[in-house]
Amino acid sequence: AQKITQTQPGMFVQEKEAVTLDCTYDTSDPSYGLFWYKQPSSGEMIFLIYQGSYDQQNATEGRYSLNFQKARKSANLVISASQLGDSAMYFCAMREGDKIIFGKGTRLHILP
């Protein structure tokens, strides 16, 4: 069974609009961490944001925020005021122990 599910293979969004990328996860461990990574066309993997399972508040990093809904086991990434440079592949990931498990990714296209 998939531990990280990203249901949106691709998304097209107009520049300057907000974007929500969906992610649901599955774990029975009470202690876990959730991450989002960005992979632009150049190929590198860039760490964006982290949310711990015990964190009371949603994580934010600049234009990125993580909408953490623990009961629903969802960890959606919200990008405010999208920019052309946000066009990339986005991966949701979950830490279990020392390992990080990645979802299949969502390809985001920002339209001018």
Query: Which residues in this chain contact another protein in the complex, by CB under 8 A?
Result: 33, 35, 37, 43-47, 50, 52, 91, 95, 98-105
34/94 Cα distance (integer angstroms): 4
Residue closer to another protein (CB basis): 42 or 112:
42
Closest CB 79 distance from another protein, rounded Å: 18
Q: With the C-alpha atoms ordered 83, 35, 69, 74, is the resulting torsion angle positive or negative? A: positive
Residue closer to another protein (CB basis): 30 or 43:
43
Residue closer to another protein (CB basis): 38 or 82:
38
Closest CB 47 distance from another protein, rounded Å: 5
CB 101 within 8 A of CB 94: yes
